[in-house]
Amino acid sequence: MAELEVAKHGKNVVHLMAKKEHALSHRLREIAVEIAIIVFAVSMSIWLHGLSEHHHQQQEVRSFLVGLKGDLEGDVKALTNISEGYKGFDANYAYLASLDPDTQPDWAKFKQAYAASDANWYFMPAKSRFDGFVMSGKLTNIENEQLLTAILALYQTRLLEIQTSEGGWTTRQRKLREYREEQLEGDDERSLFRVTTTPKGKRLLRQMATTRQLYQRYQSYIELSRDIIRMIDAAYPEQVAPRPH
């Protein structure tokens, strides 16, 4: 529509320039009016296009953030379960490290604990939505600076901290596995018990205790995720499910 107006008034300018029945000053005034109309039409077209584009961007931001909220709610549940799982690992390693090489254990309990000591559990966040939004170059369309900063801190700082601490735990578990493979002479329960209760075996088991740092980093990720969820709820209150009465 604006293009038609520009074309119409552009023709008027050409027509006025060619007219000879009016004085030059009169024609110049009319041309100025036509040019002003053209400028206004172009400016209005640009403004409306920008408004439409901004609305579209914010609709994409809304869709991303509402989806991100669901991802983070799942991550919080996963991290809560993982933290509890590591407490179980700690208790299991502590039991194995406490065994007396000169005292016969409860063999059923020992074999169960030995098998469980090879298990591991890592945090794998629902991150594909965030990665896709970053790769599309749309992350900066989030106009809430506090929210944007929190999201970046979560994935670029808190997550890397967790991965670093989990990597340390994995390294210690690998050393324990390698020692067992080197020392084991068979798969019978007495061979497993002998390797478990050597001085080095006990030392490696004690080192498997989850560090306080890892628990703290899990909790830090959980707390920041909850802050982000609260900010998203504040931005889009219509998405908040009503509480049951």
State the pLDDT at residue 14: 47
Residue 240 has pLDDT above 70, yes or no: no
User: Average pLDDT, stretch 133-153?
Assistant: 93
User: Average pLDDT, stretch 189-209?
Assistant: 95
Proportion of the chain above pLDDT 90, given as a percent = 66
100 plus 198 within the same structural domain: yes
| Confidence tier at 187 by pLDDT (50, 70, 90) | confident
Instruction: Please give the sequence-ordered ranges of beta strands (E in DSSP) within 205-245, or none if there are none.
Output: none
State the pLDDT at residue 225: 97
User: Average pLDDT, stretch 4-28?
Assistant: 51
Where in the sequence is the domain holding 14, given as residue range(s)? 2-48
158 plus 213 within the same structural domain: yes
| 186: in domain | yes
| 53: in domain | no
User: Average pLDDT, stretch 103-112?
Assistant: 95
Mean pLDDT score of the chain, rounded to an integer?
A: 84
CB atoms within 10 A of CB 140: 10
Q: For residue 209, how far is the Cα from the chain centroid?
A: 28
Quickly list DSSP for 74-96: HHHHHHHHHHHHHHHHHHHHHHH
Proportion of the chain above pLDDT 70, given as a percent = 74
| 245: in domain | no
Residue 212 has pLDDT above 90, yes or no: yes
State the pLDDT at residue 56: 74
Cα 36 to Cα 33: distance, rounded to the nearest angstrom: 5
120 and 179 Cβ atoms separated by less than 8 Å? no
126 plus 190 within the same structural domain: yes
State the pLDDT at residue 224: 98
Cα dist from 79 to 21, 59, 244, whole Å: 84, 30, 26
Put simply, whether the predicted model's pTM sits higher than 0.85 gets the answer no
What is the distance in angstroms between the CA of the first residue and the CA of the last residue of the chain? Answer: 52
114 plus 178 within the same structural domain: yes
94 plus 162 within the same structural domain: yes
State the pLDDT at residue 186: 83
| Confidence tier at 237 by pLDDT (50, 70, 90) | confident
Name the nearest CA neighbour of 13 among 29, 99, 105, 45.
29
| Confidence tier at 199 by pLDDT (50, 70, 90) | very high
